[in-house]
């Protein structure tokens, strides 16, 4: 399935060798300049069960996907 960018994961897996070097350069540049596109700041928050009573909110922690 695709994310908010509509890029199919099968396409990424197929082209991973061709994409790895350019993506590494782009990501390193973003880290070096501390500039990140808003589209990379979007996440889906899902509750992850820790322990205890599953009916209590405090027994979950949020994770970003």
Residue the block writes with tokens 């350019």? 22
Task: List the structure tokens of 6.
Answer: 């509509």
Q: What is the pLDDT of residues 17-62, one digit of tens each?
A: 999 999 999 999 999 999 999 888 888 899 999 999 999 999 999 9
Q: Which two tokens stand for residue 9?
A: 């994961």
Q: What is the pLDDT of residue 2?
A: 67
When computed from its CA atoms, the radius of gyration of the chain, rounded to whole angstroms, is 17
Sequence-ordered strand ranges (E) for the chain: 45-49, 60-64
Cβ atoms of 62 and 49 closer than 8 Å: no
pLDDT at 5 over 80: no
Structure-model confidence comparison of residues 2 and 7, the more confident one = 7
Model pTM? 0.57
DSSP state of 48: E
- What pLDDT sits at residue 59? 96
Residue spans of the domains in the chain: they are 9-64
């Amino acid at each position: 399935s695709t994310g908010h960018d509509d890029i199919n994961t099968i396409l990424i897996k197929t082209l991973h060798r061709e994409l790895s070097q350019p993506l590494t350069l782009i990501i390193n540049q973003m880290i070096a300049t501390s500039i990140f596109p808003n589209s990379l700041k979007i996440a889906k928050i899902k509750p992850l069960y820790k322990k205890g009573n599953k009916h209590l909110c405090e027994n979950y922690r949020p994770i970003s996907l």
